[in-house]
Structure formats: C-alpha cells, structure tokens
C-alpha cells in the first residue's frame, strides 16, 4: 500500500512534512523543514497519477533544473528535486522551493482593481522576472494572478510547472494547450512554438486586470477564448483618465494580436519602472538671507542656494562667497539651517569597501569645493543625519534617495546587488505609502535598517551610508 502523506513524514531522509498549505489538480504544496540545513521550505508533491509516469517525472525534473538556474529577487527559488520509493514500489516525486510569506495577487484582486501606482509596480516586477527567465531561454507559459505572490519585499513569480524552452512545441502529446485560457496568447491556440512574446501577452492581461479588475477577454475554456478573441471589442483603458499615457500604451501593446507587435519583457519593465521613479534626482533648494550677519539676526531678501547629488557639481550662492555663507550659518542666532548635500566625496586612490563584479569607472571631474552645504553633510555614521528643512513630497524625497543610490553605484561606492535591493525596498515603500496600505514611519525605519545592515556587510562605503541615511530621514518627513 502506498504510504500516505501526513505531517511528520520524512521524504528523502531530509524533508520533514509539517502541514499542507495548498493544492491543485497536479500537485499538493506542503510546508516542510529541511533537516540538513535546518530551514523551512515548500514542497510541491506531484499527484500520484502523474508521479507514476516516468516521462512526466522526467519533464518535471528538467523544469526544476531549469528553474533552479533562475536567481532573481522576483522569482521563487528552486532548491532541489527528489523522489522517494514507497514500500509498494510507487514513487513520490517532489520539488523543493523557497517558502514564501504573503498573499496571492489573485486574492487581492477579489477586492477590486489595485491603485494604478501599485498595479504598475506589480507589472514592472513581474516583467523583470520574465526578462530574467527569457534571457536563459525559458518561457513560463502560465503568468496569472494565481502565480504571483505579494510579499513584504515585492512580488514573486511562482510555479514553473509548465515552463518550457524557447522554441519547444507548445502542446502536449495529445495536442492540448497548456495554461489558463483567459491569459493565453492567441497564437498558442494554433500550436505555435513557445516564445517570450506569449509570456508578454499574459503579462499584459495581468497588468490590465490589476488596473481594471477584469481580464480583456473573459474565458474559462478554449472555445470561449476563441469566441471572445473573434467577437470581443479591442481592450481599452480610457476608463482610467488618471493613468499615465505611457503605462496605458505599454499595457495595450503587450496585448497586441500579432506577437511581433508586442514589446519584450525588458522593454515593459523599463517603461513601467522609469515611469514610477525617474532616474534624475531633482534639485533641492534652500533659502538663506542675503544681508551680512549682525550681532542679532535681521530679515533680508532671500537668495536661492541649490545643491544636487551629482559628482562634480558645486553649490552657488548669489553675491556671496562660500566662506561668508559658512560664517552666516555659524553666527545666525536661533536659526538652524539643515542643508543636506548629496555630493560624493573625492574618490580615494583605493576604495574603502570591496566591490563585487564590474563597476563603472569613477568620474575624473574635480571634487566640488568645500562650502557651507558640504560642511552640513551628515556624519559618517548612519543615523546621525538630520532632515532637510523642506523635504517636499514623498515622490520628490524618494527620487532624491534613488538618485543618491545611482550616484553611489556609478562611483563604485555601492555594490550592484545592494543598489538593486535598496531600490526595490524604496519602490515598495513608495507604493505602500501612496496607496494608503502603510504609514510612512515603519517602511522608512526598515529602509534605514537595511542601509545599516548593508554597511556592515561591506556593500556600501561609510560615506555613502551616511548620506543615504540622511536622505532617508528626509524621506520620513516628506508630505504624503
């Protein structure tokens, strides 16, 4: 008799089953403990009828092997594939995956469409995950809200169970089409080979549903899908006048009937990501009196002092030298002017922190002259900076942090993986706060903590960690 799956059972002398957390037609998902590495994992155990088929087991093993090559923040990690032979000779086949904590996008959408900024964030992260898979020649073939998990660190694309290689036949041996009808590209109904463009179509359906709360061509069967594609009106996003035109355009292009008219997953990711967080940080303006300092402060006509976070740029004060401006700031009684300077320090001959992978050559521009603004820069320890007198809106403050991350990356003071991690955390913060799902203080605290941790790992130089911390403090004071 086949041994039943139950809590406490040990598979492959390593994975202890704890409890069942999901089920589908092809598999059952268990939470388990890896007793070798002492960590919690998810086990996807194939249905007995499928596990009995050697051909199907081989296919799943190859898919697990391909998925294990995919290392990306928005893809679920695959750790292992295993088989256990039961006393009656039957086989239990399973895939070991990263255990996630979060909520399926499918469940979120039962409450209605997402705020457009959050929908765009989700679409960008799914597109980035697909672009990584396509670079390795893998097509997912089942991008749906049920295969996208919303976690505290962004979305995760799940289940490469029906993934295949680019150019492989897109039908099983019986001529059946894989996938969920409403999300399947039109050309797949004709048995066209698997291509990245089919995933992009599914991504377009997912983004459209996240924005509107419905799919463009509702269908539960292949016949219904064929009828909807033949008779349904072209999808439109005209009902969302607040949606930026570039977002609507990239979504509708992804739904093009002709695969050649669709963008790539990388192009979708770039269009959506760039719209959410422009790369160029805006300037920060602080006003100071123009009259010479007196024993007691006097009012005067303000003149603008502009500081930017780009290498080689300096601070200009109309009519006053940097030295006199410094004296003014020191001698003014009862007035505190906090000017955050996002100017990278002069590049040393040798970097203080190790870097991983290729980095951009530091700029040869001369360093900015020492001014009152640079003297007001935060100390070299995170947590000691003070917020700017005018932090501005949440988007403006987030753009300043993003610009500083980019400058540090270009200067070789922030590692590539650390920059990606911080930018993901920053985008999650912006979306969560803008949509009203979270107050500003908790995600700001998490972002500051992440900077501290990455500093301890050697992924950020002390000087940039201090500047980032000061900019994040400013972000915490922004208008939401």
Closest residue by Cα to residue 91 from 62, 59, 52, 64? 52
Give Cβ neighbours of residue 223 (< 8 Å, ≥ 6 apart): none
CA angle 58, 62, 64 (to 5 degrees): 115
Instruction: Tell me the two tokens of residue 380.
Output: 């070299």
Neighbours of 348 (CB within 10 A): 10
Residue positions annotated with a catalytic role: 142
Closest residue by Cα to residue 178 from 203, 152, 148, 198? 198
Instruction: Tell me the two tokens of residue 415.
Output: 């590692």
CA angle 437, 439, 443 (to 5 degrees): 95
Closest residue by Cα to residue 122 from 134, 109, 111? 109
Which of the 8 DSSP states describes residue 333? S
Q: Is 2 annotated as a binding residue?
A: no
Neighbours of 62 (CB within 10 A): 14
- Using alpha carbons, list the distances in angstroms from residue 95 to 18, 21, 43, 75, 92: 16, 15, 6, 15, 10
The continuous run of DSSP H or E covering 291 comes out as none
Read out DSSP for 170-223?
A: SB-TTSPBPS-GGGS-GGGGGTPPP-HHHHHHHHHHHHHHHHHSS-SS--SSHH
- For residue 243, the Cα-to-chain-centroid distance in whole angstroms is 20
Q: Please, what is the angle between helix 116-135 and helix 416-434, to 10°?
A: 150
Instruction: Tell me the two tokens of residue 393.
Output: 């809106």
73 close to 421: Cβ distance less than 8 angstroms? yes
440 close to 448: Cβ distance less than 8 angstroms? no
Closest residue by Cα to residue 269 from 203, 197, 182? 203
Taken in order 47, 50, 54, 60, the sign of the CA dihedral is negative
d(CA 259, CA 274): 24
Q: Which residues are annotated as a binding site for ATP?
A: 44
């Amino acid at each position: 008799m086949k041994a039943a799956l139950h809590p406490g059972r040990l598979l492959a002398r390593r994975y202890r089953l704890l409890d069942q957390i999901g089920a589908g037609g092809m598999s059952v998902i268990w939470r388990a403990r890896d007793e070798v590495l002492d960590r919690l994992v998810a086990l996807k155990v194939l249905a007995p009828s499928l596990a009995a088929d050697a051909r199907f087991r081989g296919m799943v093993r190859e898919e697990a092997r391909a998925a294990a090559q995919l290392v990306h923040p928005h893809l679920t990690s695959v750790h292992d594939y295993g088989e256990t032979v039961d006393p009656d000779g039957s086989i239990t086949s399973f895939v070991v995956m990263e255990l996630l904590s979060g909520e399926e996008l499918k469940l979120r959408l039962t409450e209605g469409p997402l705020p457009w900024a959050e929908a765009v964030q989700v679409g960008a992260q799914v597109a980035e995950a697909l672009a990584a898979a396509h670079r390795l020649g893998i097509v997912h073939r089942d991008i749906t809200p049920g295969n996208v998990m919303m976690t505290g660190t962004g979305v995760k694309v799940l289940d490469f169970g029906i993934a295949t290689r680019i150019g492989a036949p897109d039908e099983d041996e019986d001529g059946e089409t894989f996938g969920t009808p409403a999300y399947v590209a039109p050309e797949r109904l004709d048995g066209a080979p698997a291509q990245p463009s089919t995933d992009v179509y599914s991504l377009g359906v997912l983004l459209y549903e996240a924005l509107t709360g419905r799919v463009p061509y509702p269908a539960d069967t292949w016949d219904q899908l064929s009828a909807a594609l033949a008779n349904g009106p072209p999808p439109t996003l005209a009902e969302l006048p607040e949606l930026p035109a570039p977002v609507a355009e990239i979504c509708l292009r992804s739904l093009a009937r002709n695969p050649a008219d669709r963008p790539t997953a990388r192009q979708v990711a770039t269009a959506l990501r760039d719209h959410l967080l422009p790369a160029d940080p805006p300037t920060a303006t602080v006003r100071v009196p123009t009259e010479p300092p007196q024993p007691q402060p006097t009012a005067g006509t303000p003149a603008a002092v502009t500081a930017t976070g780009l290498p080689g740029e300096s601070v200009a004060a109309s009519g006053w030298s940097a030295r006199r401006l410094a004296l003014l700031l020191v001698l003014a009684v009862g007035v505190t002017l906090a000017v955050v300077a996002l100017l990278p320090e002069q590049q040393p001959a040798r970097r203080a922190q190790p870097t991983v992978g290729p980095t951009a050559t530091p700029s040869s521009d001369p360093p900015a002259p020492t001014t009152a603004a640079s003297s007001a820069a935060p100390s070299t320890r995170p947590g000691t900076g003070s917020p700017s007198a005018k932090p501005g809106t949440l988007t403006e403050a987030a753009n300043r942090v993003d610009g500083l991350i980019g400058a540090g990356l270009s200067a070789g003071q922030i590692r590539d993986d650390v920059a990606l991690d911080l930018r993901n955390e920053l985008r999650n913060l912006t979306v969560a706060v803008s949509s009203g799902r979270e107050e500003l203080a908790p995600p700001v605290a998490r972002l500051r903590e992440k900077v501290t941790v990455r500093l301890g790992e050697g992924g950020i130089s002390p000087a940039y960690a201090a500047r980032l911390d000061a900019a994040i403090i400013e972000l915490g004071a922004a208008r939401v």
